[in-house]
Chain A
Amino acid sequence: MHRALKIYKILVAQNLKRVMEYKADFFTGAVSFLIDQAIGIAFIFIIFSQIPQLAGFQFEQIVFIYGFSQIPKGIDHLLTDNLWSVGYFIVKKGDFDKYLTRPINPLFHVIAETFQIDAAGELVVGISLMIYAAPHAALCVNALTVTLFVFAIPFCTLIYTSIKIACAAFAFWIKSSGYIIQMLYGMNEFSKYPTTIYSNIIKFFVTYIIPFAFTGYYPALYLMTGENPLFNIGGAVIISMVMLFVSVLIWNKGLKAYESAGS
């Protein structure tokens, strides 16, 4: 554990050096994400300019849900961005061999290798929106709700990470699985809005199958109402643990099946 932490520090420092070297790249990435977010908010703003509330939620409450949904997404983006590369080209180009020849866990190595500072765009916007919306969002704030809410964040993040690990692992069998990550990851759109707007089938799907509802709406709903912590927060904990377990299982199976590609 101590050793892993030391290695992680070295790899992150290495990444930050690269960021300092290519400042324009970092700037482009962060500004891109900022603008992407600003447009997301403009969208909600335009809708609310015509209607007083959406499915029973005020403008600020929807902004709060949106803002919160960016936090787990941003943390996952910051820490595990290299999984995309595994899916898209590391396995295909035969570059995965290098992770197998090092004396550390390959999954840990893959994740530790990239520290994607561009994610600052999502995190800054997410936190700002929550701060902006919180006073008007009729939150139910007390020691218990805030503690449980913050406690849920790492688990929400793991939902993203697990989906990426499992999908990236498919590349071990089929060489390139970037599009699978893209497809499932894209479903995080569902997390930005109250699940009450969806039909029952879709609601079930985003709650239990690809549970992005737990990365945005449910935890935010808990902080708004203070009700149902067992489902809104506990659900995120249990589902994320199950998903992590299954995805690591798939990853390890994949590693056994892995055959190097390329020359």
Chain B
Amino acid sequence: MNKIRKQYLPFVRAGVQTLIAYRMNFMGFIIGGLIYCFVMYYLWQAVFLSSGDGSFMGFSMTDMVVYIFLSNVTGQLTFSSASNDVGEEIRDGSISMRLIKPVNVDMSYLAAEIGAALMRFAVFAVPVMMGIEIYRYVVCETIMFDLVRFLLYLLSIVLAYLISFRVNLCFGFIAFYVKNLWGIGILKNSIINFLSGSLIPLAFMPEQLKIILEYMPFASMNYTPVMIYMGKYDIDEILFRLAIQAIWALITYALSKLIWFRAVKKLSVQGG
């Protein structure tokens, strides 16, 4: 254990330092996300006004506001740049430097990302969640925050992040075959946004589609933790959803390992 800590702690530290060094990038990323939240806020407000009875498929406007911002926070916390980082390193060949180090390649990426994720939690997620709770308090006039649910949310987030990391890693490995990383990035983001519920709550999808999507890995990456936090699931359902998340975490782990071992044999570095 001590050996592992010694091996990977420098990667965690490097992750934090990278984020601090490129803090403006980070800020831009966050502000961009918040602007998007506000567009969605106004759009949904118009939808609720047009729907007449102040509710839309079981969601009130308050629910929707919480959903929009919480889904964004969850997206930031489970964000993984692995597909970009791996892809870039495969393309420019610097991945060979990682291969010669006595560390696990995917673990070294993971360690660096954990550093960044902790920073995101501290400087972004905490303030926004406090904002959400204040908003709920003002609207509902009671404290809606529930410590047990919050802790379950954190557990769910960890699982969601692990799935997100592995899925991103798999997308990154596509760079072994296709060099247009930027196109892959757009494809990946739009698919994940839609299927994970961060664009639109899965509850709003047609019934059959919704049931299928809830079992897919994408829902585990965003929708499940958000629903847990919002109290939309009872305790049985929470445990069931957490189990599904855990299963997907294992499957995506195995999948990324499989692709890696097949693809690394094919690695050819262009230029020197």
User: Measuring CB to CB, which residues of chain A are less than 8 angstroms from any residue of chain B?
Assistant: 22, 24-26, 28-33, 35-36, 39, 42-43, 46-47, 49-55, 118, 176, 178-180, 182-183, 186-187, 189-190, 193, 197-199, 202
Q: Are A55 and B46 in contact, with the CB atoms below 8 A?
A: yes
Residues of chain A within 8 A (CB-CB) of B178 are 24-25, 28
Q: Are B25 and A42 in contact, with the CB atoms below 8 A?
A: no
Residues of chain B within 8 A (CB-CB) of A182 are 28-29, 32
Query: Which residues of chain B from 241 to 270 have a CB within 8 Å of any chain A CB?
Result: none
- Contact A179:B29 (CB < 8 A) given known A43-B200, A54-B46, A189-B35: yes
- Contact A54:B47 (CB < 8 A) given known A22-B180, A197-B42: yes
Query: Which residues of chain B from 16 to 40 have a CB within 8 Å of any chain A CB?
Result: 24-25, 27-29, 31-32, 35-36, 38-39
A/B interface sample: 13 pairs, CB < 8 A: A22-B179, A25-B183, A26-B180, A29-B180, A32-B186, A35-B190, A36-B187, A47-B204, A49-B206, A178-B25, A179-B28, A180-B28, A189-B39
Which one, B27, B51, B199, contacts A43 given CB within 8 A? B199
Residues of chain A within 8 A (CB-CB) of B212 are none
Residues of chain A within 8 A (CB-CB) of B50 are 51-55
Q: Are A25 and B179 in contact, with the CB atoms below 8 A?
A: yes
Q: In the complex, which of the residues A28, A31, A176, A198 has the most CB atoms of chain B within 10 Å of its own CB atom?
A: A28
Q: How far is the CA of A52 from the CA of B50 in the complex (A)?
A: 8
B124 to chain A, nearest CB (A): 15
B205 to chain A, nearest CB (A): 7
Q: How far is the CA of A51 from the CA of B56 in the complex (A)?
A: 9
User: Measuring CB to CB, which residues of chain B are less than 8 angstroms from any residue of chain A?
Assistant: 24-25, 27-29, 31-32, 35-36, 38-39, 42-43, 45-47, 49-51, 56-57, 177-180, 182-184, 186-187, 190-191, 193-194, 199-200, 204-206
Residues of chain A within 8 A (CB-CB) of B35 are 183, 186-187, 189
Residues of chain B within 8 A (CB-CB) of A28 are 178, 180, 183-184, 187
Residues of chain A within 8 A (CB-CB) of B47 are 47, 50-51, 54
Q: Are B204 and A186 in contact, with the CB atoms below 8 A?
A: no
Q: How far is the CA of A55 from the CA of B45 in the complex (A)?
A: 10
Q: Are B28 and A32 in contact, with the CB atoms below 8 A?
A: no
B85 to chain A, nearest CB (A): 15
Q: How far is the CA of A26 from the CA of B178 in the complex (A)?
A: 10
Residues of chain A within 8 A (CB-CB) of B190 are 32, 35-36, 39
B141 to chain A, nearest CB (A): 24
Q: Which residue of chain B lies nearest to A210 when distances are taken between CB atoms in the complex?
A: B35
Q: How far is the CA of A24 from the CA of B181 in the complex (A)?
A: 11
Which one, A50, A118, A199, contacts B51 given CB within 8 A? A50
Residues of chain B within 8 A (CB-CB) of A202 are 38, 42
B150 to chain A, nearest CB (A): 30
Give the 8 A-B CB pairs with smallest separation, nearest first. A179-B28, A25-B180, A29-B183, A32-B187, A197-B46, A28-B183, A36-B190, A32-B183
Which one, A31, A186, A197, contacts B32 given CB within 8 A? A186
Q: Are A183 and B28 in contact, with the CB atoms below 8 A?
A: yes
A88 to chain B, nearest CB (A): 10
Q: How far is the CA of A36 from the CA of B192 in the complex (A)?
A: 11
Q: In the complex, which of the residues A22, A51, A178 has the most CB atoms of chain B within 10 Å of its own CB atom?
A: A51
Residues of chain B within 8 A (CB-CB) of A190 are 39
Residues of chain B within 8 A (CB-CB) of A35 are 187, 190-191
Q: How far is the CA of A117 from the CA of B196 in the complex (A)?
A: 29
Residues of chain B within 8 A (CB-CB) of A180 are 28
Residues of chain A within 8 A (CB-CB) of B29 are 179, 182
Q: How far is the CA of A22 from the CA of B270 in the complex (A)?
A: 15
With contacts A51-B50, A179-B29, A186-B35 known, what are 20 further pairs, Cβ within 8 A? A26-B180, A32-B190, A35-B187, A36-B187, A36-B190, A42-B194, A43-B194, A50-B56, A51-B47, A54-B47, A54-B50, A55-B49, A118-B183, A179-B28, A183-B28, A186-B36, A187-B35, A193-B43, A197-B46, A199-B42
Q: How far is the CA of A197 from the CA of B96 in the complex (A)?
A: 52
Residues of chain B within 8 A (CB-CB) of A118 are 183
Residues of chain A within 8 A (CB-CB) of B180 are 22, 24-26, 28-29
B29 to chain A, nearest CB (A): 7
Which one, A32, A51, A54, contacts B184 given CB within 8 A? A32
